[in-house]
Structure 1
Amino acid sequence: MKHRATSVAFSCVVIAALAVGCTGKPAANPVGTPRSESPSAGLPRGGAPKVDSPMPVSALSSDPCQSALTPGQLEKILGTAPQGKPDSSPLGPACNWHNSDKGSHASVSYDTQTRTGLSGEYENTKPQAVVWRPLPPIQGFPAVAHVTPSGGEPDYFCQVSVGVADDLSFDASIILGPAKKGKVDPCQVTAQVADMVVTNLRQKAGS
């Protein structure tokens, strides 16, 4: 897959703000399943954008605690590199990181089970979202930032979903700590975290 530069604007000032506190909404676990013969038939739908250069399913085949974010990236996000804690849900594997000193969290989950990619977000999340913000592609992959009533308040919480294939996606989420609540756009910060994850997945996929 040919590398394409991200068009998401990233600010060192914003990413540094995460060291003062951010947290993520837990999501996902079980291991990924192999693709069916035609997993993306009928996709995308619901208004979701198409993924022109999809990643292979193997990119999301490992534990996100080991593959989603590096210790150096966690340092930038949380101000430390805590041990990741696997989470469990019907969506696929997930990991949560917590900085107890800052009261900050981050989370990444791989949606390998629904096999609907971003179409599932457009069909199921968009109707109930209090924030729904399609983002410029992240390294060529379509992305959307969103907040639902069950996720958290939009002045400190945001989740970004990235479609890496028409039938595969991942979510990155954070909640800003008290010192940054209402002062930093959590969706802008989460988009930066999602970009880090894409970089690591591309490396794993050899693209």
Structure 2
Amino acid sequence: MTRILRVVVGLSLAGVVAGCSAAPTEGVASPKPTAPSGATSTQASGLPHSGAPAVSNPLPQSVLPQDPCQAFTRQQIVEALGGDAPEGERDDIATGPWCSWQDPDTGAGVFVNFVTATHEGLSNLYRNTKPAVKVWREIPSIGGFPAVAFQTDAGETTCSVNVGLSDEYAVGVAVAPSRAKKGQVDACELSERLAETLVDNLREGAGR
């Protein structure tokens, strides 16, 4: 994926992270495994805040694969993009590890970000992203975890869904429909379904 497109989708996926060290190409190095966040630690850190929901049954950050390109199986990527789906392209952006699968012929793409560097989970999005985007949908549960879907502008091709797996970290999924399907499908619904698949993969890895 070109640098410009990675910046644009990365900004949409990880959100506006004002107040931390994030640049438009947000992300950082691979996450360090941590234990699940309990009420005491999250209250001490002031999480959640800004209206974000608390994560009542968090997953430890150690469930995240070291390589975000392993977030989905090859079959799951093929189902999302078709038999000619490319291999994932790894990057480390200011909010955490990132992987993209994009078909330049059709324009379709799948993007995943492990949002671990802000250490604020969904709270960061509620504080910084919610006031800045045109489309914001709160999702009560994806696999038992709170989530939000948003688009920086109404009618934007790509939609980002971020799932809070603990009060301190989240995972983000964005799906860009093919050019042929533009205007015929809801990108947020596509992203939500793929976010459910990601959460199922992580819960399976955690033995839940």
TM-score by length of 2: 0.80
Equivalent residue, structure 2, for 1:146: 150
How far apart, in 2, do the equivalents of 1:155 and 1:88 lie? 24
Partner of 2:77: 74
More helix by share: 2
Deviation string 1:67-87 (CA, Å, 9 cap, x unpaired) is x11111111111134211002
Other structure's SS at 1:25 match: helix
* Stretches of structure 2 lacking an aligned partner (at least 5 in a row): 1-5, 11-25
Q: Distance in 1 between matches of 2:41 and 2:73?
A: 30
Aligned length, in residue pairs? 181
Matching residue of 1:32: 31
1:109: Cα distance to partner? 0.4
Q: Which has the higher contact order (CA 8 A, sep 6+)?
A: 1
Alignment partner of 1:173 is 2:177: no
Tell me, what secondary structure is at the counterpart of 2:164?
strand
Once the two structures are superposed, the pairs formed by residues 28-177 of structure 1 within 5 Å of their partners are 28-35=27-34, 40=42, 41-66=45-70, 68-80=71-83, 81-149=85-153, 154-177=155-178
What is the deviation of 1:33? Answer: 2.9
C-alpha contact (below 8 Å) 1:156/1:177 kept by paired residues: no
Q: What secondary structure, in the 3-state scheme, does the structure 1 residue paired with 2:198 have?
A: helix
Identity fraction in percent: 40
Larger displacement relative to structure 2 (38-47 or 101-110): 38-47
Aligned residues of 1:28 and 1:111 also touching (Cα < 8 A):
yes
Q: Distance in 2 between matches of 1:155 and 1:113?
A: 26
1:161 and 1:112 mapped to 2: Cα distance?
Answer: 12
Kindly state the Cα deviation for residue 155 of structure 1 after the two structures are TM-superposed.
Answer: 4.5
Alpha-carbon separation, structure 1, partners of 2:116 and 2:101:
21
The separation in 2 between residues aligned to 1:94 and 1:29, in whole angstroms, is 9
Shift of 1:154: 2.9
Deviation for aligned residue 1:178: 1.5
SS at 2:155 equivalent: coil
Taking structure 1 as the reference length, the TM-score comes to: 0.80
